[in-house]
């Protein structure tokens, strides 16, 4: 009897131990599968619904979801009222905030006063192109409609189609999970700047996936005939990379066909708006030259259990210095923070100087026209202001340039500031000619004062926007969720924020 | 049925289940593969994939597999003692997740690898031993006074960058597994 009891106990202990081992082996095997496998999300086409990727890439998805932690609105027009003057007559003078997490791409796009308050598919100030960088639905719709067809019509046309914020399918192939360029305009830009697509390495893809959106672009008016043979015009997103990626190269490119984004409301200058040439300016920096990619710092590798994956909570590497900077550098976190802060201060100082001088130039030009200055007299001033503001905008519009390429950023700011000063010197002469000495430009020290000078009726814009949000926008969301393009649950986790009260 | 008989049958059932489960475990853990010298056995644990991939892309992949450097080759007692010790350490670390992202070789492991460097590169290392007093001021009899070959030959054979964090895509592993 004793023998049997001993066998029984030993047997049970052995079974318990082996069960534990089998469970452990099972876990490790599934981790290995996840590391080495690529499961198609859909058999064909593009899966724009980010939550559909969660089952296969749970860790990446969960970390991506954390981009919603970056929800704070920093009203940059309030912080730098000069901006309202610099962009007078253009959408950015109405509303311009610091960037937020990828999860908010569409909320910000719909909430900004720049996109206005359409009441139907064919109204509103903005074209379809304004969706381009905001959603994997863009790639899906482009595949469905055709690229030129996509770029035709008003922004409001696709409100119920473009509903998932920047996510999986913007950078990944829906079948293999591999990195891919979902936007044809970047491919064209790479070719136009002399790159061979087939020579692009995986490491370069880890930057180019970001460059699809974090780049300078303009809308190229492109006539075409649609499927029914009707003549139409598309506003196709195009990167000005043909002559090179520097501020001066792009300026040459734009000047070669006299392109302008808008005419300045105060100074009548045909202006260029730099969007966010983040990739371009990064390529002049030391980290790029050392062959780093955007993902190396913004999506550092991390580990959960035995699985290593890249952190998809794309954010400032300063929030994760240990996993980003310190994988290569040996200094302390505190030292890194202080170095970056120092760099930011340097840029801020030159940035404010330049903005003040540029805003002064615009207001002085306005005065000159009021006093009767002729276009011929103003030619040189006009050219100088255009060039100055372009270079200033290029240097800072991508926000991170002060770190990505500090030398280039400061160089451009110095050039832009010098040009703004040249314009003001010239204008001082012109004003003197019309009997005005020591002209003091109007006060633009607050958002209210600056927007008044720029002719922005903020209250009206906000009122219209709120009405749009409760009517048309709400219909878009309902329609998209009813037709299965959007998981409405997702929106519930996103705080609705804008630069104006909700 | 008496209590005694019940216990007897229960014990028999338990032993049968345990044997069956044991066999299943042998299969699941690929236990047999550890009797071979195949490098693929080392990537049964996926944390070794970085090391496998870096080796596979090195010139040593043409000449030597994992165990030819990491285990004693000509002393069977030493070989199986080392294999048992490593096997125990590795399997507990992997099972209990106690390993770090940057894995370092143990002192005993380093001894074995060093011996194997000398074993294969004997002509070269003999010259170094003979002339060692001309450029090393060490009284120590061992090569270079306790220094290891890879203190200078730092890229051999796994490359300088080989931690789990630093080798993002082990394409070599995937490519290799596809063939099998």
pLDDT at B168: 53
- The gap from C-alpha A373 to its chain's centroid, in whole angstroms, comes to 39
Q: Does domain B48-179 have CATH number 1.10.3820.10?
A: yes
- The A residues from 8 to 37 touching B (CB cutoff 8 Å) are 8, 11-12, 14-15, 18-19, 21-22, 24-26, 28, 31-32, 35-36
CB contact under 8 A, B165 and A15: no
| Cα dist from A346 to A329, A340, A355, whole Å | 23, 10, 14
Partners of A302 in beta bridges: A309
Of A1, A12, A26, the CB nearest to B4: A1
Find tokens 């979801």 and name the residue. A65
Chain B interface test: which of A2, A22, A32 (most B C-beta within 10 Å): A32
pLDDT at B167: 60
Of B29, B164, B173, the CB nearest to A303: B164
Per CB-CB distance under 8 Å, the chain A contacts of B165 are 301, 303, 308, 327
Chain A interface test: which of B26, B40, B46, B48 (most A C-beta within 10 Å): B46
pLDDT in tens, A4-34: 889 989 999 999 999 999 999 998 888 887 7
CB contact under 8 A, B14 and A1: no
Of B10, B95, B173, the CB nearest to A24: B95
Contact criterion met (CB below 8 Å) for A45 and A140: yes
CB contact under 8 A, B17 and A11: yes
Partners of A154 in beta bridges: A127
Contact criterion met (CB below 8 Å) for A311 and A66: no
Task: Please provide residue A169's backbone torsions phi and psi, each rounded to the nearest 5 degrees.
Answer: -75, -5
Per CB-CB distance under 8 Å, the chain A contacts of B180 are none
Q: What are the structural domains, with CATH classification, of chain A? A: 261-456 (1.20.140.10)
Of all residues in chain A, the one with the smallest CA distance to B10 is: A8
Of B22, B97, B168, the CB nearest to A301: B168
Which DSSP state fits A81? T
pLDDT at A40: 83
Mean pLDDT value across residues B144-169: 71
pLDDT at B173: 43
pLDDT at A466: 97
pLDDT in tens, A331-374: 889 999 999 999 999 999 999 999 999 999 999 999 999 999 99
CA distance B122 to B127: 9
Of all residues in chain A, the one with the smallest CA distance to B9 is: A4
The packing angle between helices A333-370 and A406-433, to 10°, is 20
Residue B157 preceded by cis peptide, ω within 30:
yes
Task: Please provide residue A344's backbone torsions phi and psi, each rounded to the nearest 5 degrees.
Answer: -65, -40
The list of chain A residues with pLDDT below 50 reads none
Chain B interface test: which of A1, A5, A6, A7 (most B C-beta within 10 Å): A7
Per CB-CB distance under 8 Å, the chain A contacts of B46 are 28, 31-32, 35-36, 306
CA distance A162 to A170: 13
pLDDT in tens, B1-14: 688 888 888 889 99
The two structure tokens encoding residue A449: 């004062």
């Amino acid at each position: 009897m004793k023998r049997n009891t001993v066998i029984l106990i030993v047997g049970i202990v052995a079974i318990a131990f082996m069960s534990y081992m089998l469970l452990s082996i099972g876990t490790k095997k599934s981790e290995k599968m996840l590391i080495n496998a690529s499961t198609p999300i859909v058999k064909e086409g593009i899966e724009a619904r980010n939550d559909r990727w969660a089952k296969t890439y749970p860790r990446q998805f969960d970390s991506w979801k954390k981009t919603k932690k970056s929800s704070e609105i920093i009203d940059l027009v309030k912080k730098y009222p000069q901006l309202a003057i610099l962009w007078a007559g253009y959408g950015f003078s109405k509303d311009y905030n610091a960037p937020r997490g990828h999860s908010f791409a569409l909320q910000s796009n719909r909430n900004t006063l720049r996109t206005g308050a359409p009441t139907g598919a064919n109204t509103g100030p903005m074209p379809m192109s304004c969706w381009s960088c905001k959603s994997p639905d863009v790639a899906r719709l482009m595949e469905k409609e055709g690229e030129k067809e996509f770029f035709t019509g008003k922004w409001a046309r696709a409100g119920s189609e473009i509903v998932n914020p920047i996510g999986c399918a913007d950078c990944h192939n829906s079948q293999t999970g591999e990195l891919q360029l979902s936007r044809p305009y970047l491919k064209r830009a790479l070719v136009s700047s002399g790159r061979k697509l087939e020579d692009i390495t995986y490491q370069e893809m880890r930057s180019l996936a970001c460059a699809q959106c974090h780049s300078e672009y303009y809308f190229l008016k492109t006539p075409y005939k649609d499927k029914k043979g009707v003549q139409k015009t598309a506003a196709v997103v195009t990167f000005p990379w043909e002559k090179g990626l520097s501020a001066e190269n792009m300026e040459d490119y734009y000047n070669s066909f006299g392109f302008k984004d808008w005419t300045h409301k105060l100074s009548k200058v045909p202006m260029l708006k730099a969007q966010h040439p983040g990739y371009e300016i990064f390529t002049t920096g030391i980290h790029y030259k050392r062959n780093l990619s955007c993902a190396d710092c913004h999506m550092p590798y991390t580990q959960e259990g035995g699985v290593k994956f890249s952190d998809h909570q794309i954010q400032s590497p300063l929030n994760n210095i240990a996993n980003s900077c310190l994988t290569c550098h040996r200094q302390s976190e505190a030292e890194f923070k202080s170095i970056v802060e120092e760099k930011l201060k340097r840029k801020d100082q030159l940035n404010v100087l330049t903005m003040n001088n540029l805003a002064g130039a615009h207001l002085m030009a306005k005065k000159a026209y009021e006093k009767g200055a002729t276009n011929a007299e103003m030619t040189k001033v006009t050219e100088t202001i255009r060039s100055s503001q372009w270079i200033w905008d290029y240097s800072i519009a991508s926000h991170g340039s002060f770190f990505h390429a500090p030398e280039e950023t400061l160089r451009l700011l110095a050039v832009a500031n010098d040009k703004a000063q040249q314009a003001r010197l010239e204008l001082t002469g012109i004003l003197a000619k019309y009997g005005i000495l020591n002209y003091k430009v109007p006060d633009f020290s607050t958002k209210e004062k600056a927007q008044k000078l720029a002719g922005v009726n903020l209250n009206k814009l906000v009122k219209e926007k709120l009405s749009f949000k409760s009517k048309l926008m709400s219909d878009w969301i309902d329609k998209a969720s009813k037709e299965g393009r959007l998981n409405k649950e997702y929106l519930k986790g996103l705080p609705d924020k804008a630069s104006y009260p909700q | 049925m008496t209590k005694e008989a019940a216990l007897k049958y229960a014990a028999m059932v338990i032993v049968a289940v345990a044997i069956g489960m044991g066999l299943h475990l042998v299969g699941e853990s690929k236990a047999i593969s550890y009797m071979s010298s195949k490098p693929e056995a080392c990537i049964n644990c996926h944390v070794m994939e970085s090391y496998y991939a870096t080796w596979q892309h090195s010139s040593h992949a043409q000449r030597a597999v994992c165990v030819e450097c990491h285990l004693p080759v000509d002393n069977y007692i030493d070989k199986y003692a080392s294999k048992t010790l490593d096997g125990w350490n590795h399997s507990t670390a992997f099972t209990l997740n106690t390993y770090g992202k940057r894995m370092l070789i143990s002192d005993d492991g380093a001894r074995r690898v060093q011996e194997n460097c000398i074993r294969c590169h004997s002509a070269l290392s003999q010259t170094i031993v003979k002339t060692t007093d001309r450029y090393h001021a060490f009284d120590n009899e061992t090569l270079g006074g306790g220094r290891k070959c890879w203190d200078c030959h730092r890229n051999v054979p796994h490359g300088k960058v080989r931690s789990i964090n630093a080798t993002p895509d082990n394409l070599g592993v995937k490519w290799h597994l596809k063939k099998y």
